[in-house]
């Protein structure tokens, strides 16, 4: 779906009218005309596959919606009360499934598989990333993480291998078949990163970089949007709404710890954000235990909790030699720890799967 | 164990010397003399069953410790670096197990059983608490919670049935065999509450009520110490140290959500506090998902996460008719939800148990 | 004023009826009867000087209030919407003034004088506290602070000289004429501390120690209630309401820094709490810059800001030799810094005073 | 000054060598050669007016520094221990002064004048912005604020007039002579905004948008960097370091409230950040009371506190008709309030000025 700019005022009543697939321009015009007759202002039309119309106005919305839904070319007409619309459960009840091609076939994030993404914080060298990729794949990971563009607090810290890093990631994919997730930090780099990555990651510090969010609307790749260090769940959804409203419905959310007064852990994992988000949105939700705690010892127990609470996946850091990692060494699992964690997670993932597909679970 | 006042300065080196059981006064004096000869100042002596000596000084501690441990009547002599001592893993590696008598025999908190405590926020009437107790017991709970003294933000809110509530809890124990946990809010009530309860709960708002903490040293009952809304993990341990240093080693800790900027949940459950505490202390750790999220829908997934991350138990609220509860209705499970949650938790508890007793777990 | 227990439900409409001074029992009964006829439930009657009646019910409140206020013995009948009642501006518009006798005559906290309270964190010795008192008085302070009972995170830290410390404070008052403020930590000590102190201070960690708050209702001394580290402004007011509802209207509030993620300062001074509180309550508000920042260099600029924003006073720590202080040395001003700060504050206090008494201020 | 990329590792010892003005390439080479001989790696050379060399290595730094400073072409050679370098007081003790041309001549931010910037949240129309500008200038403001690019949580909220808004700001400058400050949100817009604005503002949500920070290095305009909602003071300085290290030394910092648990105010103004920053950096510091509290009633007292604590200026919102403002109406002063506030501030600013220029202040 691709949307034109959508500008719905909050004060008035809002509706979203979804046209049937492949509806013609005439059919859309007919619906728009009816909406106008009801006194609404039309804000959004035309998507790639399906036209979605946003409208705002006052009056007897219930009647208007029924009347619009009765038109043959209209698939759905809903009133939206949450400030986020396209990402809300009011708009779409069934979970969004994001499919990636990997060596195991297709991985469905938000579907019946618990997805494990892993890899180093930064791509450092061909040897390092290939070694990571092979280790990740061997233990059951399906997506390789690795930063080519690195957001660093200090201008003097390593800023990533940039384009060179992207190429190394692509090479790792070729060899192992893993899908690739990597961060994009600037709107000017979106096309470049989209050329190499299967999923574009938006870091916590850019969660409200609205210029960047807008530029993701047409990149053609799924997005992983990380929650800002002090962003509320509602703000996370509003930022996802930016991406979807600009034309890209394939967004997954990532809880990676929020900033609190506690200093024993790098951040505080707001794990109940998972069931909260599952109530509010149809987008998949992933946990990043590595950034949440910042200490490799704590990653495996938190990963177990992420499975148990019903996240759609996790993204963790692992490195051949964490103490020599160019960034985030303290929170990267050794390969040995990575393998042990995956074994440890297996029975929890089995329970997860059983509950996802509705099988009875026997104690 | 009962300790005299302990006052070890932070700047200097500190050691704790644990005497063998039933050592005589002469044996203790001999050890104290040796410690004094080394130039240390002695701070703590005499416990109920076992004498523990705290000493502070400077010099070649390693040699001194070895020399002291070589004395026949000394069981252990350790240097302590954490500001909390008796509750630290440096002092005692094996987990503290708190045993309660119930209808099922003995429940060991911190042992090989995952303990589920449940019941209403407040004791409201005989009918209500008996109904709760029977429902809790029937689904596998072993400890009944219920407030007789209620800490309420407003002086105009229901403050609890007080002594009458304690009697009703005792009656519920008689009928069902459940152990009883209930809150004590003031040092003047410690003896009264200890007369009726199996475990005394210290609420989050009293975590640094040092006068109350001191009075728990000799109450003869295990304590559940809840983490303050904005207390660090280290402060939680320091408060537990108050209780243990004043003579009561049977303390369990409870993570019940901390205060953050997020408003979708009542508090934010700092779930990784569980593995952090397991690294730092030998005290059992319990999660209270009800207060953490404040919304009954979110309690069961968070309870699953609590089991998976390795807590020693949970404490949850359930009420025959939550919408009519005198307090905390929004976060109380209905009886139906309580039973469903317990069924849902069973396979996770089975995994928990297998990993506690060291059985190989097959996926 | 002394009040009986007040229990007004939140859901219903609430009113507070204030009788004229020295109204007779018959007059009160007549008003109560009228209230009952209107279908309200009566909750609070009888104060020491003035009877105040709390009532809760439903129906046409506006008419009821007018009708009640028309009764000759009634001074005021108001509907209260805030959860805090007696401390709200709805109940009383004019600022509460707390008068203390000192060497300068009377100091009115909440009146036309900016009050400066100062002294050491802990009372350590006669010499120390007398020296502090003389230095405080010489530079224009009117109230001496100094802890005799100390709330300490660690059970091994100095816990205060207790009763001995109170006697030393009294001695300092005798010599200098300064009024005394000191902390009380437990309800069992309230009478003892009230015997020596002019103002009883409730520390941040005890802000929601409801047993303690209740015991302050009849202590006969003004209270300084410090805001909890993570307590909201509304919770602070609710805790003040506990004290007032239990009979003690002389409460001043103290902002002493809240806990945030920032670590450059010990706490974060929520300085805008001052104008917020001035909108919501008639109670005086004091700032404690020492605990807010925890670093003596930052105390004087923050003290200036406290004057400028319109606080009613400040409470600061000063010590003859901060680096040797038994507690809080890092944030205690040297005597030299104390004197400089007072000189530095003088023109700001002059502006404060001019605006309090309504004089035109010329730039 | 213009700097090349600087990449100094944290682990090793770091020094910064500042060459004299107009030093020749040969002189620079000579210094570089000496540094290399000492075994240091050179990271940064060549500025616009002055060459500054960053070097990192190990060994006897003190001797090396003395030896380098003895070279005739070297102005200063210093060891830097803070992670931020160019913005630290270690590097430069005297305050950075940022001069703007206005109708009053030159305004020196960081100098002997307290600077007041004011205007609407968003530029809405020519009439609105001109009216604002005239009102701002008439009451003593010297810089006009007004958003043309607006960062909005919701994609459906007004996003600013963009280029059109910039032109209106320029028109307001022409008419009133006020300098212009306005926000830039994306690196692609930096040149455009720099064409119209006298100061470029970086919003709180972009404080760690490193791509944007880097692009400010060569924009030729002073920058106002706002502190992120949950950014530490150290992170704020690191972000400023990005801008300075990329060639733009004219950065002022802005405290605009941080995110805490308190909800009575929109954010919590961390006012002690001002003296903390004055200890750590030579950059000017400005307070934004409007965003800090989000409530116009609270703005004037907080502005007084900002003057008293020693900020270099304030930036406030004012609007001809706040209740109709397209954004941030609740926190915008009416024109009447704006004028009253400026009158109210005058004596505080007079005290500020006296202390800046070192005049004795008489109470």
Q: What pLDDT, on the 0 to 100 scale, is given for residue D8? A: 34
- C211/B185 Cβ within 8 A: yes
The predicted model gives C321-349 an average pLDDT of 94
- Given D264, D265, D350, which is nearest C363 (Cβ)? D350
Would you say residue C56 has pLDDT above 80? no
Q: What pLDDT, on the 0 to 100 scale, is given for residue A92? A: 84
Residues of A with Cβ-Cβ distance to B273 under 8 angstroms: 262, 264
Q: What pLDDT, on the 0 to 100 scale, is given for residue A234? A: 96
Return d(Cα A247, Cα D257) in angstroms, integer: 34
Q: What is the H or E stretch that residue B19 is in? A: strand B13-19
Phi first, then psi: what are they for D108, rounded to 5°? -105, 105
Query: Looking at residue C73, which CATH number applies to its domain?
Result: 3.30.70.1140
| Closest by CA position to D234, among listed C261, C363, A238 | C261
| Closest by CA position to B136, among listed B165, B101, B96, B177 | B177
The predicted model gives A99-107 an average pLDDT of 90
Return d(Cα C337, Cα D359) in angstroms, integer: 19
Return d(Cα C192, Cα C188) in angstroms, integer: 8
Domain identity same for C182 and C275: yes
Q: What pLDDT, on the 0 to 100 scale, is given for residue D359? A: 60
Would you say residue A271 has pLDDT above 60? yes
Domain identity same for A264 and A332: yes
User: Given pLDDT bands bounded at 50, 70 and 90, which one contains residue B28?
Assistant: confident
The predicted model gives C126-139 an average pLDDT of 97
Q: Which residue in the block uniquely carries the two structure tokens 């706490």?
A: C267
User: Given pLDDT bands bounded at 50, 70 and 90, which one contains residue C64?
Assistant: confident
Return d(Cα A23, Cα A340) in angstroms, integer: 52
Residue of B nearest to C208 (CA): B205
Burial class (CB in 10 A: 0-12, 13-18, 19+), B60: exposed
Tokens read off for B293: 């999220």
Tell whether B3 is covered by a domain.
no
Q: Which residues of A6-26 are buried (b: 16+ CB within 10 A; e: fewer)?
A: bbbeeeebbbbbbbeeebeee
Tokens read off for C165: 């410390």
Q: What is the mean pLDDT of chain A?
A: 89
Domain identity same for A52 and A160: no
CB neighbours of residue B171 within 10 Å: 15
The predicted model gives D216-224 an average pLDDT of 94
Looking at per-residue pLDDT, the higher value among A61 and D337 belongs to D337
Return d(Cα C98, Cα D46) in angstroms, integer: 65
Return d(Cα A362, Cα D353) in angstroms, integer: 77
- Given D232, D276, D346, which is nearest C298 (Cβ)? D276
Phi first, then psi: what are they for C353, rounded to 5°? -65, -45
Would you say residue A169 has pLDDT above 50? yes
Tell whether A5 is covered by a domain.
no
Return d(Cα D233, Cα D227) in angstroms, integer: 8
Return d(Cα D203, Cα D153) in angstroms, integer: 13
Tell whether C7 is covered by a domain.
no
Return d(Cα C239, Cα C228) in angstroms, integer: 10
User: What are the start-end ranges of the H helices in chain A?
Assistant: 25-37, 61-69, 126-138, 163-176, 190-196, 210-215, 233-245, 273-280, 289-293, 299-309, 335-356
Residues of C with Cβ-Cβ distance to B208 under 8 angstroms: 151, 153, 205-206
Q: What pLDDT, on the 0 to 100 scale, is given for residue C218? A: 85
Substitution target from C272, C295, C352, C358 for chain D, most D beta carbons within 10 A: C272
Residues of chain C above pLDDT 90, percent: 65
Phi first, then psi: what are they for D181, rounded to 5°? -120, 135
User: Given pLDDT bands bounded at 50, 70 and 90, which one contains residue A360?
Assistant: low
Would you say residue C11 has pLDDT above 70? no
| Closest by CA position to A38, among listed A53, A17, A60, A8 | A60
**Helix, strand, or coil (residue B112):** coil
Contacts of C336 (CB under 8 A, 6+ apart): none
- Given C158, C208, C242, which is nearest B205 (Cβ)? C208
Q: Which residue in the block uniquely carries the two structure tokens 């003040």?
A: C240
Residues of D with Cβ-Cβ distance to A261 under 8 angstroms: none
**What 8-state DSSP symbol labels residue B324?**
G
- C350/D361 Cβ within 8 A: no
Domain identity same for B197 and B53: no
The predicted model gives C85-107 an average pLDDT of 89
Q: What pLDDT, on the 0 to 100 scale, is given for residue B363? A: 39
Length of chain D (residues):
363
What are chain D's partners, defined as 3 or more CB pairs within 8 angstroms?
A: A, B, C
Q: Which residue in the block uniquely carries the two structure tokens 């954004």?
A: D327
Torsion angle defined by CA atoms of residues D207, D211, D212 and D218, in that order, rounded to the nearest 10 degrees: 130
Return d(Cα A213, Cα D308) in angstroms, integer: 40
Return d(Cα A53, Cα A245) in angstroms, integer: 11
Domain identity same for D184 and D224: yes
User: Given pLDDT bands bounded at 50, 70 and 90, which one contains residue B320?
Assistant: very high
| Closest by CA position to C332, among listed C348, C352, C316, C343 | C316
User: How do residues D110-120 score in pLDDT, each as one tens digit?
Assistant: 999 999 999 99
User: Given pLDDT bands bounded at 50, 70 and 90, which one contains residue A22?
Assistant: confident
How many Å from the N-terminal Cα to the C-terminal Cα in chain B? 44
- Given C230, C259, C261, which is nearest A259 (Cβ)? C261
Domain identity same for B170 and B141: yes
Tell whether C8 is covered by a domain.
no
Tell whether D17 is covered by a domain.
yes
Residues of D with Cβ-Cβ distance to A210 under 8 angstroms: 151-152, 155, 185, 205
Query: Looking at residue A130, which CATH number applies to its domain?
Result: 3.20.20.70
Lowest mean pLDDT among B198-207, C245-254, C294-303, C345-354: C245-254
Lowest mean pLDDT among A116-120, B6-10, B359-363: B6-10
Contacts of D305 (CB under 8 A, 6+ apart): C271, C305, C306, C308, C309, D271
Domain identity same for A33 and A134: no
Return d(Cα B346, Cα B150) in angstroms, integer: 32
How many Cα atoms occupy the beta-carbon half-sphere of B85 within 13 Å? 29
Q: Is the ipTM of this complex over 0.90?
A: no
Torsion angle defined by CA atoms of residues A160, A162, A164 and A169, in that order, rounded to the nearest 10 degrees: 80
Q: What is the mean pLDDT of chain B?
A: 90
- A208/D235 Cβ within 8 A: no
Residue of C nearest to B151 (CA): C210
Return d(Cα B271, Cα B276) in angstroms, integer: 9
The answer to whether residues D123 and D319 touch, using CB atoms and an 8 Å cutoff, is no
Q: Which residue in the block uniquely carries the two structure tokens 């209403």?
A: B120
User: What are the start-end ranges of the H helices in chain B?
Assistant: 25-37, 61-69, 126-138, 163-176, 190-196, 210-215, 233-245, 273-280, 289-293, 299-309, 335-356
The answer to whether residues B219 and B251 touch, using CB atoms and an 8 Å cutoff, is no
Would you say residue A47 has pLDDT above 60? no
Domain identity same for D161 and D65: no
How many Cα atoms occupy the beta-carbon half-sphere of C199 within 13 Å? 33
Residue of B nearest to A354 (CA): B347
| Closest by CA position to C286, among listed C307, C258, C261 | C307
The predicted model gives C125-149 an average pLDDT of 97
Return d(Cα C50, Cα C46) in angstroms, integer: 7
The answer to whether residues D145 and D118 touch, using CB atoms and an 8 Å cutoff, is yes
Q: What is the mean pLDDT of chain D?
A: 90
Q: What pLDDT, on the 0 to 100 scale, is given for residue D346? A: 97
Looking at per-residue pLDDT, the higher value among D307 and B328 belongs to D307
The predicted model gives C143-154 an average pLDDT of 93
User: Given pLDDT bands bounded at 50, 70 and 90, which one contains residue D1?
Assistant: very low
How many Cα atoms occupy the beta-carbon half-sphere of B188 within 13 Å? 12
Q: What pLDDT, on the 0 to 100 scale, is given for residue A76? A: 84
Tell whether B85 is covered by a domain.
no
The answer to whether residues B236 and B269 touch, using CB atoms and an 8 Å cutoff, is no
The answer to whether residues B315 and B254 touch, using CB atoms and an 8 Å cutoff, is yes
Residues of D with Cβ-Cβ distance to C305 under 8 angstroms: 271, 305-306, 308-309
Tell whether A85 is covered by a domain.
no
The residue from B26, B51, B79 where one domain ends is B79
User: Pairing relation of β-strands B251-255 and B285-287?
Assistant: parallel
Q: What is the H or E stretch that residue A262 is in? A: none
Would you say residue D7 has pLDDT above 70? no
The answer to whether residues C283 and C253 touch, using CB atoms and an 8 Å cutoff, is yes
CA distances, D300 to each of A34, C62, D346 (Å):
51, 35, 12
In terms of residue numbers, what domain contains C68? 13-80
Assign 3-state DSSP to chain D and report helix, strand, coil percentages, each to 5.
35, 20, 40
Domain identity same for B144 and B75: no
Q: What pLDDT, on the 0 to 100 scale, is given for residue A158? A: 82
Looking at per-residue pLDDT, the higher value among D44 and A1 belongs to D44
Q: What is the H or E stretch that residue A202 is in? A: strand A199-202
Distance from CA of D263 to the nearest CA of B (A): 9
Return d(Cα B252, Cα B284) in angstroms, integer: 5
Tell whether A86 is covered by a domain.
no
Lowest mean pLDDT among A14-23, B182-191, D200-209, D310-319: A14-23
Dihedral-angle region of residue D35 (phi above 0 means left; psi in -120 to 50 means alpha; beta otherwise): alpha
Task: For D286-297, give the secondary structure using H, E and C.
Answer: EECHHHHHCCHH
Domain identity same for C105 and C177: yes
Domain identity same for D194 and D256: yes
Would you say residue A299 has pLDDT above 90? yes
Q: What pLDDT, on the 0 to 100 scale, is given for residue A362? A: 47
Return d(Cα B201, Cα C81) in angstroms, integer: 34
Q: What is the H or E stretch that residue A92 is in? A: none
How many Å from the N-terminal Cα to the C-terminal Cα in chain C? 43
Query: Could you give the number of structural domains in chain D?
Result: 2
Angle at D56 between CA D55 and CA D61, to 5 degrees: 95
Strand order in the sheet with C52-57: C41-44, C52-57, C13-19, C74-80
The predicted model gives C210-219 an average pLDDT of 93
Domain identity same for A222 and A140: yes
Dihedral-angle region of residue D53 (phi above 0 means left; psi in -120 to 50 means alpha; beta otherwise): beta
């Amino acid at each position: 779906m691709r949307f034109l700019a959508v500008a719905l005022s909050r004060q008035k009543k809002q509706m979203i009218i979804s046209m049937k697939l492949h509806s013609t321009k005439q059919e859309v015009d007919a619906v728009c005309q009816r909406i106008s007759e009801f006194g609404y202002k039309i804000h959004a039309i035309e998507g790639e596959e399906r036209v979605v119309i946003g409208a705002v106005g006052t009056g007897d919305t219930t009647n208007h919606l029924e009347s619009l839904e009765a038109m043959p070319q209209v698939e759905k007409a809903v009133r939206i009360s949450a400030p986020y619309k396209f990402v809300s459960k009011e708009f779409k009840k069934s979970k969004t499934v994001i499919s990636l091609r990997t060596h195991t076939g297709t991985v469905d994030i938000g579907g019946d598989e618990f997805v494990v993404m892993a890899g180093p914080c930064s791509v450092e060298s061909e040897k390092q990333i290939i070694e990571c990729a092979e280790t990740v794949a061997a233990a059951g990971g399906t997506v390789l993480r690795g930063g080519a563009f690195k957001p660093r607090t200090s201008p003097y810290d390593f800023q990533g291998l940039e384009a060179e890093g992207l190429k190394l990631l692509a090479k790792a994919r070729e060899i192992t078949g893993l899908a690739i997730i990597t961060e994009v930090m600037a709107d000017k780099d979106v096309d470049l990163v989209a050329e190499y990555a299967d999923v574009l990651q938006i870091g916590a510090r850019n969660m409200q970089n609205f210029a960047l969010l807008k530029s993701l609307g047409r990149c053609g790749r799924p997005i992983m949007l990380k929650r800002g260090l002090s962003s509320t769940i509602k703000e996370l959804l509003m930022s996802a709404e930016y991406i979807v409203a600009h034309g890209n419905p394939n967004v997954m959310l990532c809880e990676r710890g929020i900033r609190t007064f506690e200093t024993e852990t790098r951040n505080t994992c707001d794990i109940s954000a998972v069931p909260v988000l599952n109530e509010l949105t149809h987008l998949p939700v992933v946990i990043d235990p590595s950034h949440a705690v910042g200490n490799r010892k704590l990653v495996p127990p938190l990963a177990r909790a992420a499975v148990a609470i019903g996240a759609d996946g996790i993204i963790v850091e692992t490195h051949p030699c964490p103490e020599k990692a160019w960034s985030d060494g303290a929170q990267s699992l050794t390969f040995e720890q990575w393998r042990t964690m995956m074994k440890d997670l297996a029975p929890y993932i089995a329970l997860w799967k059983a509950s996802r597909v509705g099988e009875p679970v026997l104690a």
